[in-house]
Structure 1
Amino acid sequence: MRNALQITKMLKLTRIFIAIIQIGILYIFSLIGSFLGELLHLNFPGSLIGMGILFILLHLKVFPYNWVVIGGNWLLAELLLFFIPSVVAIMQYIQFLHREGLDLFLIILISTAAVMVSSGLTAEMITRKGGKAL
Structure 2
Amino acid sequence: MCNDSQVPVQVLLYAGLFIFSQYLVSWLHLPLPANLVGMVLMLALIVCRIIPLSWVRAGARWLLAEMLLFFVPAVVAVVNYAHLLLVDGWRIFSVIAISTLMVLGATAWVVDKVYRYEMSRLNRE
| Class of the TM-score when normalised by the shorter of the 2 chains | 0.7 to 0.9
Are residues 103 and 45 of structure 1, via their aligned partners in 2, closer, same or farther at CA, if it must alter by over 3 Å?
farther
TM-score using structure 1 length: 0.77
Per the normalisation by structure 2, the TM-score is 0.82
Q: In 1, Cα distance between the equivalents of 2:112 and 2:99?
A: 20
Equivalent residue, structure 1, for 2:15: 27
The structure 2 residue matched to 1:69, chosen from 54, 57, 62, is: 57
Runs of 4+, deviation exceeding 3 Å = 40-44
Q: Tell me the matched-pair count.
A: 119
Give the unaligned 5+ runs of structure 2.
none
For 2:74 and 2:101, locate their aligned partners in 1 and report how far apart those are by CA, in whole Å.
Answer: 22
Alpha-carbon shift at residue 43 of structure 1 (Å): 4.3
Aligned mates of 2:22, 2:88 — CA distance in 1: 30
Which amino acid counterpart does residue 105 of structure 1 have in structure 2? F
**Overall identity of the aligned pairs, in %:** 31
Tell me how far 1:99 sits from its aligned partner.
Answer: 3.2
1:46 CA displacement: 1.2
Q: CA RMSD, aligned part only?
A: 2.0
Structure 1 match to 2:39: 51
Structure 1 contact 31–47 (Cα < 8 Å) conserved: no
Structure with larger RCO (C-alpha < 8 A, sep 6+): 2
CA, structure 1 residues 96+36, in 2 after alignment: closer, same or farther (shift >3 Å)?
Answer: farther
**Selected match of 1:129 from 88, 110, 117:** 117
Any residues of structure 2 matched to 1:103-114 within 5 Å, and which?
Answer: 103-114=91-102
